[in-house]
Amino acid sequence: MSVYLHDIPLDKAQAALRSALQDADLWRVLGAENIPLDENALGRVLAEPIWAKISSPHYHASAMDGFAVRANETAGASLTAPLTLEIGPQAEYVDTGDPLPDGFNSVIMIEETEALDADGEITPAIRDPQTIRIRAAVTPWKHVRPLGEDIVATQLVLPAGHILRPVDLGAIAASGHVEIAVSLKPRVAILPTGTELVEIGSELKRGDILEYNSLVLAAQIKSWGGEATRYPITIDDFDLIAERVVEASRGHDLILLNAGSSAGAEDFSAGVVEKLGTLLVHGVAVRPGHPVIIGMVNEKPIIGMPGYPVSAALTGEIFVEPMIARWLGRTPTELATVKAELTRKTTSPGGDDDYIRMAVGRVGERMLAAPLNRGAGVISSLVRADGLAIMPRGTQGAESGETVEIHLYRSRAELERTIFCIGSHDMTLDLLAQYLAERGRRLVSANVGSLGGLVALKRGEAHLAGSHLLDPETGEYNTAYIQKYLPDTPVEQVMLVNREQGLLVQRKNPKNIKDLGDLTRADVAFVNRQRGAGTRVLLDYHLNLLGIASAQILRYNQEEFTHLGVAAAVASGRADCGLGIAAAAQALNLDFLPLYQERYELIIPTIYFHDPLLAPLLEVLHDQDFQIAVEAMPGYNTNLMGKLSRRN
């Protein structure tokens, strides 16, 4: 049976790779080398155990500056009945680290003695007195580091397979070694393929795709203890790709062939592997990362990595990291885990192991996990991800509020410093996140619209929400909606900015759009914000005033979740215009037709308003540098920033 894009379960794919490596005698440590014991050994994996050659310390050493004595000769000394000891036969001065003189078994700290001269008077010559007076007895081995206190010769200091840390280098040196045997670094060749790919720094043309998967993969290899070689981009040519694979197989332990792993007209990876060696797997039941290729070429493993960045990175974590761990003789990396409640329902294909990126943080007493963008090409979702929830094959996701296990990319301490902001999108939130990072806080924001933010507060799923909901009856912002959706939750309305909303249009406004009335034209395609977004509420309010029905607007239901999403839709030609903020227009080099001024506020439950977690956030709102940075973006006014608009 053909293996082309025939998905098999993840455990079977892993077993096929392991079996092939065992048959090739590659399921083992690849080899060892001796290296000098210096700072360059940091992060290397020990190929052999470290046995102590010497003891540390290798003599009885004084642990304090003071006088070496015999403990039994100090018996009876007290504040009211001090004893005098003669220098030489009964006491001898020692510095910290000095060998303990023969016959002595304890040290009295210099601060606990009185140096006396020949006449029995106290003398400043504390290092060379005639006698010393003591006012307390000491026990044997007091303030002494006995031989072998730290390390005893012949004991095991570190086992094979241990990843060396800074303190380990000191322990190895203390045990008498000057060089160590470490595992050879696995050599990994990374071959990016694709005619559409261009190098980082290239001037981009329509259809060009920046090639950075090899950069990510090489960094992964290095972090796992391997050594990566990034090959130049190879165009989509079967023979050229095959030639480069053969070349890479001669000097490397593993080949990562990036892209071309699917079944399109120019996806040559599976054919290349089959021609040059053995194709073991083509397609694994895992998301993202389904079109994975596993094979052997010249008795070397080769993995065809999917082209989408997230798929490529996760394929590395799933297949490559355990292989490198085996070759180095260390245990595979195990991420710490935490239990968290899902903030919304997630769905998964029943036949796949689904790796879902999550933002994680504590709100009140609950640890929460918010699913991030699922797109395999959205590498920023991995940057934002605090961890992964793995939905195993046979399940179809999890319900909102269900507890799931998160495999963490970040420490628990970072999660405890996380502020969850859910609600309306505004570009000042990104700037706010930077200023908060400088104050030891992480701001994680999810763009679900103003109404979605209020609902999140009601459910206890956020510390604050960004909102700009206009009440058409009063002309006020947010208050009426807070009273409707949060009637039993005391909150503070904190002013963030006054901002300008208007129509985002392409440069030089080729459709000559002037105002909302032009949205009814048959040649004008609109892009909207999602239901519940404050911008959508603002739009509908003014359309109603003008007597314009939504059905009159072409693509009124074409939705984006952020102002930048609207700007991108206009810049790319998917739409002719959209309602949004001036800063988004500037970001994507669009023209902006100003229409309205509005209030954008942070809605903060009173219980969190006084929480130390949010104290830096409130501090930043009064920071002059932050306000200046906000006003540097077009369409913003910070005159009322940080002021309490209303207490509900």
Look at residue 3 and tell me whether its pLDDT is greater than 60. no
84-95 burial, b if ≥16 CB within 10 A, otherwise e?
Answer: ebebeebbbbbe
Q: Which CATH superfamily is domain 10-28+185-328 in?
A: MoaB/Mog-like domain (3.40.980.10)
Give 548's pLDDT tier (boundaries 50, 70, 90).
very high
CA dist 575 and 505 (Å) reads 9
Check whether 575 has a pLDDT greater than 70: yes
List, for residues 291-302, the tens digit of each pLDDT value: 899 999 999 999
Percent of the chain past pLDDT 90, that is, above it, reads 84
Angle between helices 269-276 and 238-251 (to 10 degrees): 60
- Mean pLDDT, rounded, of the chain: 93
> What is the reported pLDDT for 120?
82
Instruction: Point out which residues pair with 61 in neighbouring strands.
Output: 99, 145
Give the three-class secondary structure for 229.
Answer: strand
Q: Tokens for 447, please give them.
A: 């763009």
Q: Which fold has domain 32-57+149-183?
A: Molybdopterin biosynthesis moea protein, domain 2 (3.90.105)
Report the C-alpha gap between 454 and 603 in whole angstroms: 8
Could you tell me which residues are beta bridge partners of residue 296? 278, 301
Q: Average pLDDT for residues 581-587, to the nearest whole number?
A: 93
Residue 490, C-beta contacts closer than 8 angstroms, at least 6 positions apart: 605, 606, 607, 647, 648
Tell the residue number behind the tokens 């071309």, with chain if given: 260
C-alpha span between 535 and 525 (Å, rounded): 17
Burial letters for 565-584: b for 16+ Cβ neighbours within 10 Å, e otherwise? bbbbbbbeeebbbbbbbbbb
Q: What are 494-524's pLDDT values in tens digits?
A: 999 999 999 999 999 999 999 999 999 999 9
Q: Is the pLDDT of residue 57 over 50?
A: yes
Residue 260 has pLDDT above 70, yes or no: no
pLDDT digits (tens, 9 = 90+) for 150-197: 999 999 999 999 999 999 999 999 999 999 999 999 999 999 999 999
Q: What is the pLDDT of residues 400-442, one digit of tens each?
A: 899 999 999 999 999 999 999 999 989 899 999 999 999 999 9
Contact 45, 328 (CB under 8 A): yes
pTM for the model: 0.86
Confidence at residue 5, expressed as pLDDT on a 0 to 100 scale = 60
94: which residues sit within 8 A by CB, 6+ positions away?
Answer: 62, 65, 66, 67, 68, 100, 101, 107
Q: If one looks up domain 446-647 in CATH, what number appears?
A: 3.40.190.290
Residue 130 has pLDDT above 80, yes or no: yes
Are the C-beta atoms of residues 496 and 445 closer than 8 Å to each other? Answer: no
Distance CA 280, CA 184 (A): 27
pLDDT band (50, 70, 90) for residue 379: confident
CATH tag, 337-411: 2.40.340.10
Rg of the Cα trace of the chain?
Answer: 34
User: Does the pLDDT of residue 1 top 50, yes or no?
Assistant: no
Closest listed residue to residue 284, CA positions, set 352, 232, 218, 343? 352
- Give the model confidence (pLDDT) of 261-314 as tens digits: 555 555 789 999 999 999 999 999 998 888 899 999 999 999 999 989 999 999
Q: How do the domains of the chain map onto residue ranges?
A: 10-28+185-328, 32-57+149-183, 61-145, 337-411, 446-647
- Type of residue numbered 505: V
Contacting residues for 545 by C-beta, under 8 A, at least 6 apart: none
DSSP β-ladder status, 559-560 and 526-529: parallel
- b (16+ CB within 10 A) / e for 310-320: bbbbbbbbbbb
Cα torsion 36, 40, 42, 46: sign? negative
Q: Please report which confidence band the pLDDT of residue 448 belongs to, taking 50, 70 and 90 as the band edges.
A: confident
10-28+185-328 and 61-145: identical CATH topology: no
Give me the torsion for CA of 270, 273, 275, 278, rounded to 10°: -110
636: phi then psi, degrees, rounded to nearest 5: -115, 145
Residue with tokens 């839709």: 569
Task: Measure the CA–CA gap between 393 and 414, rounded to whole angstroms.
Answer: 30
Pick one of 3.30.470.30, 3.40.50.620, 3.10.310.10, 2.170.190.11 as the CATH number of 61-145.
2.170.190.11
For residue range 587-632, list pLDDT tens digits in order: 999 999 999 999 999 999 999 999 999 999 999 999 999 999 999 9
